[in-house]
Amino acid sequence: SAVISQKPSRDICQRGTSLTIQCQVDSQVTMMFWYRQQPGQSLTLIATANQGSEATYESGFVIDKFPISRPNLTFSTLTVSNMSPEDSSIYLCSVEIGTSGANVLTFGAGSRLTVL
Amino acid sequence: GNSVTQMEGPVTLSEEAFLTINCTYTATGYPSLFWYVQYPGEGLQLLLKATKADDKGSNKGFEATYRKETTSFHLEKGSVQVSDSAVYFCALSDPGGGADGLTFGKGTHLIIQP
What digits encode the pLDDT tens for the residues B18-36? 999 999 999 888 899 999 9
pLDDT of residue A2: 80
Percentage of residues in chain B with pLDDT exceeding 70?
94
- Mean pLDDT (10-residue bins), chain A, 116 residues: 90 97 94 89 89 88 96 95 96 80 79 95
> Is the pLDDT at B95 greater than 70, yes or no?
no
Alpha-carbon distance A115 to A86, whole Å? 8
Confidence of residue B1 (pLDDT cuts 50, 70, 90): confident
Cross-chain CB nearest to B49 (options A58, A96, A104): A104
Q: What is the pLDDT of residues A31-60, one digit of tens each?
A: 899 999 988 788 899 999 988 888 999 999
Q: Are strands B108-113 and B86-92 parallel, antiparallel or unpaired?
A: antiparallel
Alpha-carbon distance A35 to A58, whole Å? 10
Q: What's the mean pLDDT in B81-89?
A: 96
Question: Of A7, A23, A6, A18, nearest to A87 (Cα)?
Answer: A18
> Is the pLDDT at B99 greater than 60, yes or no?
no
Cross-chain CB nearest to A40 (options B41, B93, B106): B106
Q: Residue B5, Cβ neighbours under 10 Å: how many? A: 16
Q: Which residues from A are below 8 Å from B98, CB to CB?
A: 103
pLDDT of residue B24: 97
Question: Of B79, B62, B72, nearest to B23 (Cα)?
Answer: B72
pLDDT of residue A106: 86
Percentage of residues in chain B with pLDDT exceeding 90?
70
Element (H, E) at B91: strand B86-92
Alpha-carbon distance A111 to A92, whole Å? 6
Interface A–B counts its CB contacts (< 8 A) at 65
